Amino acid sequence: MNIKPIRSESDLQESFRQLEKVFQAKPGTKEADDMEILVTLIEAYENKHYPITPPDPVDAIKFRMEQQGLKARDLEEHIGSSGRVSEILNRKRPLSLKMIKCLHKNLHIPYESLLAEVHKVANTKHNQKSRATLSGI
């Protein structure tokens, strides 16, 4: 078998075809070694070209709410007042460390999801104040 680096989609498809031929190889054989090399090359290519990133924290919270049949009111014990919950769910306020710990502990939302970059954060007075403070203004 001629194994080479994967540099394109056509190379990837060819590697999958080769992998199909050796997928059931017995351990300790040359075919098993080829399979291991192909899997490593395919994983490296896919990780580079098709990375899977954790969801946005708000999306993770909304997904867990949907899974558990929760309403915004149910988040108050984890996040704070109804106004605070609304600000979080509408991306007008970032999660605090205390909120993150509470959501992780009680709703079992992974830290990597809660700490991921928030998408589409609204440009509110609170965020402008935070940016001004961080920039030393």
* pTM beyond 0.75, yes or no: no
Residue 136 has pLDDT above 70, yes or no: no
The separation between CA 112 and the C-alpha centre of its own chain, rounded to angstroms, equals 7
- 99 lies in a domain? yes
- 63 lies in a domain? no
User: Which residues have C-beta within 8 Å of that of residue 91, sequence separation ≥ 6?
Assistant: 58, 118, 119, 120, 121, 122
Residue 21 has pLDDT above 80, yes or no: yes
pLDDT at position 119 is 61
- 57 lies in a domain? no
> Residue 114: which domain range?
70-134
**With bands split at pLDDT 50, 70 and 90, how would you rate the model's confidence at 122?**
very low
Same domain, 87 and 126: yes
Q: How many domains does the chain have?
A: 2
